[in-house]
Structure 1
């Protein structure tokens, strides 16, 4: 059955509305054509993430990721609405489709259980799973001549992923994943563990100190990545500022009181996210 372009974009828009709890607030600020293209990008990234985070055995996950690679290699042949929309978006905008390959590389790291010894190792992972998304977004946004635009987009994505990692320490540990670099854990004398009360244990305060240190480092990455904003048009800048603003606000909450993430997955309310988005559209700082 043939999928029309309109139906394909409508499907991707619905996926984004239902599942992009943070990004949707920024994507809504784009004009219709760019909004549709970015929804297509998000929907394909969602497919990749869902494979990596699903309950299938590792072998089946890797096979699923290989199937995505194959579909990316022949976009024009697919009738799946997500691929149909991505193919059309890539014809309209200079979307670097190779960045999806990097996203797949990063999710494969999750599936195979990669360990991170140094912060530089973690940056490589973050560049794959989030810097790639930053560069995909830039392809839709477009920018004024700026030779470092892709680098800034990459840095901003890495900053967002560092925030995700701090927010999800407990959840990731329960799922058998540790993203905090071993050198950081050792430096602060931290042994990650969840107690009988379901909370991350922090008897000596080392984990709290580690979170403060990691938050300060992430904030530097935001500072570097947000140099992208002046090269974007007004609506794209608002989208970028809203998406990053939500995560920066979340980072501030975590840094203010790290214990907030010791027993739950911290998030902002819908109203708080909407306020950040409105401020971004008005060109005001968060």
Structure 2
């Protein structure tokens, strides 16, 4: 995050600036697609998006990458993070110095954009469930988990991105876009999640194709493919594409200067589904990625749209935008 971005966002406290920089670092290191899209936002919006991503990434890392620590230690680490956030949200100003930087940046963003604190509570609840829940019987069960792990992320973003419609009209689409992105990650990471003891593809969907966890484990361990597994994963991809279709109308509801960012993320994440299909749904054996050339073309298109949107925005001051006290950013479909 550049000094210009922090200045544009009105972040002046040196310790808060350092906290935002830590969140930006997490975004740049772990969220390549997300980070690329964020670069298409206006500078004043970027720090808030980095703060939202940085906190979510840090919590996810506690669950998935805490050096093989036992579940009770991970649970305590999540509790400490939640306590840090609660204390910082209750504090007027930069927050306690001993609080984790990602919590301090998130609390500041929540204050600036009037983000509902319950969204963070729901998120942490889903993160804790990953320590004890390794599968989901039905898609409805999975949706319950994804409310906290994904839908709330879209809802957190909405006040930052801004809308041209009443926010409550855009909210279901924003939540669904968060779900679509997470379903994409679930499909891409089936093998890696299996190694962590988790299967996010619903059990009833797998069973309809004659697949269970044992069959997935066998394919993962032997490197073999199985037509039944491929068929199940193809159906899960169809479920994911349906989520994108439900999310798509929300892009036009966003502030015009935010749409290119969200459109870019929408297209790039959707491209992961295409890459998985092109790889024959071999997600138990390797991670599918969007080709670098495709990423560059989508980003270039986003830059053109950004320039057009900002020019229009300058020509029409006072355009109706529903916003919280600071700014916005999200995504659209052509």
Compute the TM-score of the two structures, normalised by the length of structure 2. Answer: 0.78
Distance in 1 of aligned mates of 2:143 and 2:278: 24
After TM superposition, list the pairs within 5 Å mapping 1:53-72 onto structure 2.
53-54=64-65, 55-72=68-85
After TM superposition, list the pairs within 5 Å mapping 1:124-273 onto structure 2.
124-146=144-166, 147-190=168-211, 191-195=215-219, 198-199=222-223, 201-202=225-226, 205-273=227-295
| Distance change >3 Å, CA 171–CA 196, structure 1 → 2 | closer
1:161-193 Cα offsets, whole Å, 9 max, x none, are: 111111111111122111111101110001322
1:223-263 Cα offsets, whole Å, 9 max, x none, are: 11121111112231111111121110111222344343231
Distance in 2 of aligned mates of 1:251 and 1:8: 34
Distance in 2 of aligned mates of 1:206 and 1:7: 50
| Distance change >3 Å, CA 69–CA 197, structure 1 → 2 | closer
Root-mean-square deviation over aligned CA pairs: 2.1
| Distance change >3 Å, CA 14–CA 207, structure 1 → 2 | same
| Distance change >3 Å, CA 265–CA 140, structure 1 → 2 | same
Deviation at 1:66, TM superposition (A): 1.2
Where structure 2 has 5 or more consecutive residues not aligned to the other structure, the ranges are 1-12, 306-331
Contact 2:136 2:142 in 1 (8 A): yes
Where does residue 36 of structure 2 map in the other structure? 25
- Counterpart secondary structure, 1:120: helix
1:65-93 Cα offsets, whole Å, 9 max, x none, are: 11122122121333233233222222221
Where structure 1 has 5 or more consecutive residues not aligned to the other structure, the ranges are none
Q: Is 1:78 the equivalent of 2:96?
A: yes
Deviation at 1:13, TM superposition (A): 1.9
Contact 2:233 2:281 in 1 (8 A): no
| Distance change >3 Å, CA 14–CA 149, structure 1 → 2 | same
Deviation at 1:155, TM superposition (A): 0.7
Distance in 2 of aligned mates of 1:256 and 1:200: 17
Contact 1:106 1:129 in 2 (8 A): yes
> Number of residues paired by the alignment?
283
Deviation at 1:50, TM superposition (A): 0.6
Q: Is 1:282 the equivalent of 2:304?
A: yes
Deviation at 1:197, TM superposition (A): 6.2
Distance in 2 of aligned mates of 1:10 and 1:269: 29
Deviation at 1:200, TM superposition (A): 5.4
Deviation at 1:196, TM superposition (A): 7.8
Distance in 1 of aligned mates of 2:192 and 2:135: 17
Deviation at 1:15, TM superposition (A): 2.3
Deviation at 1:270, TM superposition (A): 4.0
